[in-house]
Structures are given as structure tokens and as C-alpha cells.
Amino acid sequence: MKYQSSLLQLLESRDYIHQLTDAEGLDALAAKEQVTGYVGFDATAPSLHVGSLVQIMLLRRLQQAGHRPIVLMGGGTTKVGDPSGKDSSRQLLSEEAIQANIASIRKVFERFLDFDGPNGAIMVDNDDWLSTLSYLELLRDVGPHFTVNRMLTFDSVKLRLDREQPLTFLEFNYMILQAYDFRELYQRHGCRLQMGGSDQWGNIVNGIELTRRMGGEEELFGVTTPLITTADGKKMGKTAAGAVWLNPDQLGPYDYWQFWRNTADADVLKFLKLFTDIPLQTIGKYAELEGQEINEAKIALADAATAMLHGEEAARMANETARKTFEQGASDDNLPSIASNGSISVLDALTGLGFCASNGEAKRKIKEGAVKLDGAPVTDPQLLIAVVGQPAKLSLGKKKHGLLLP
């Protein structure tokens, strides 16, 4: 359909929309008034990673279209654990650890959202209301609106059971608490929109229905994004070297820049739309590039994505460092290399290049954080590196660099 509101026009033009509960209703609402919408994030670590970035960008797009974003931190739901897509229960964190994680994560959102002004973002913690709920109150007021029959059909539950993996009663309640969040945000902040990944569709619909059944008089809406995967079918945010963290103390600006610079040719235009503010007209010009020229688009992606998170100066320095490193590597005929025959273990690569005398030394260097693969830290000593199409660069410290040949 042809959308009237700048919000849905923006989301559609940059390929964020996978599902909508009521496209016409949300479009009409967003065209006539400011809409408050939220995305929820659990606080299981001190930093979110790139896999959460599309949801962060959803909130940014909401604000760019003149609407009000809410960052919902799951201080309460983190105590339970979302079973979606997992085969085992999460390790339960202490209250102190959860609050420390939330404080650390907030710093990232301050880079992407404006917390001041008429549509300034707000960050809330669902522990503020979930921790005050008594068990009997939850059973009496919320329980009647859920049936076990239906809960068993949700993917987050069904997939775990189909794989014959245990699902605790604690986790089984997660979807009830998440639905209650929507109802609470509607009452407290007039929030009428929940956004999330495609795996959250059932939870979003639950929240809409629960709020309506518990006295909500206005229509609520849900939007989900498609699952963002790379051209090789891998989930966004994961690399051979591990998670791509957003907090700079867990992954520095240069390594973050390198992650985007190493984007596959087939992904670069999609990522420019989703993860940068580069105008669509400019992105369209990048689509005309062929062969080695596509590297211009990759550098533009790396510059823009890094500047958004770490600032313009950090992005400029990362670009300059990468350029000097490339020129030095290109002019060094003695750069060591080793054939991978398509794949090679990181331990074999380190010893084969002569960087380490033994597997034991290689493991120690990995533990110390001294080993990088294409600029990203390697944390797993059992890592099997796939080398397809072009060489991969393995580094030990700042001075030892070698190529893993396909």
C-alpha cells in the first residue's frame, strides 16, 4: 500500500517492515499525531551487539519521523530470561549486575537517540512495575487472559519443546511479563506501538490483546523487522571472531570500522539503508558500482556506521589507520602467508605463520586478546576459520600480520 505518514514511508523505503498489525490504522495515526513507540532490550551483558542494531535504528527512525521513542530495559524480564531461539536457560544475574549492565548500555543509546526536546527519547526499566507485582495479583488480573493451549503454540515455546529441551516454568512466564509491559507503557506513557524483530511477533500481539482486555480503549499497534542475515546466511552480529559489541570498551572504533568495511558485496546496499543515515539517492548511486568500485560503498558504510556510534573523529581515524595498514601491506612483498584449503584452525594458522611456537602459546595469545582476524578480536581458541574467495588477514599484536589464502 502507499503510506501517507512519514514514519511508514521511512520504514518501508529503508526495508525495515516485515509485519504490521494494522498498516492503515498506524499510518493514519502517525499522519495526524505524535506516536509513542518502544522496543525492549534485556540487560544480560554490559553491552548490546550489532545483532540489536536494527532495533536501535528502528527507534532512531521513529524519532527522525517526529515521534517519541521509548527504550525499555528489561531489568525485570532479565531476571526470567527470554526463551526465544534458545536451547537452554539463561544464567540468572544478580540485581547489581543487571543494573550495572543497564547503566553501561544506556551510553550506546545516547549516541543514537536524542533524549531532549519535544519528542525526546526516554529509557525505562520494567523492573519498576514487575517487581511490585504480587504473584496472586498477577494470577488474578493477568492469568485469565492467557491459555496454556495458545502459549504452547508460540515459536519461543514450541521450538524448545520440539527439540526436547527443558523449558522452565520461570521462562514460560516470560511472554506474560512482556505482554504486561505493553499494557503498563500504554497506561504510563500513552505508548501505542511496540516494535521488534520477527521472532517477537507473538509477544507483541499478546501485549496488544492483553491491554485491550484489561481496559485499553485505544488501538495499539505492532511492527516487526525481517530477520537480518548476511549473504552467507549467518545471523547479523556474529563473526568468526565472535560478537561485534557496541560499547567501545568491548570493541574499539577501529575494529568496529573494519567489521563494516568487510561487508560482503551482496550486503552493502542493504546495510547502507538499515544502518546509516546516508540518503537513499546516494545509496542508489552506489548500486551502480561494479567490481572493485564497490569498495567505495563499503568504506562509506564503515565511515557512516562508525561515526554514528563513536563520533566523526573516531571514524576518520579508523579510516586513516585502515588506509595506512592497507598501503603498508600492499607494498610488503614479504608478508607471510599460508594456504588454508578453504578452512584452517586459528591455532594451526598462528603456528603455521610462525607467530607462535606451539598451540599452547597460541592459546595464551588468544586469551590475552592479542589475536585478530580481519581486524576483529579472536576469543575462541577452537575457532575454525573459513577462507573463501579472498585472503583473510590474521594479526598477532600490532606488528605481526599474515594472510590466510583460500
> What count of other Cβ atoms lies within 10 Å of the Cβ of residue 68?
22
What whole-number distance in Å separates Cα of residue 7 and Cα of residue 16?
Answer: 11
The arrangement of strands across the sheet holding 337-339 comes to 337-339, 400-405, 392-396, 371-373, 376-377
Contact 38, 71 (CB under 8 A): yes
| Residue type present at position 195 | M
Does 174 carry a binding-site annotation? yes
Rounded Cα distance between 27 and 6, Å, is 9
Place of cell 586478546: 369
Residue with cell 600480520: 401
Is 38 one of the annotated binding-site residues?
A: yes
What whole-number distance in Å separates Cα of residue 186 and Cα of residue 274?
A: 28
With the C-alpha atoms ordered 59, 61, 63, 68, is the resulting torsion angle positive or negative? Answer: negative
Give CA torsion, residues 305, 310, 316, 320, to 10 deg: -90
Binding-site residue ranges: 38, 174, 178, 238
Binding-site residue ranges for L-tyrosine: 38, 174, 178
Binding-site residue ranges for ATP: 238
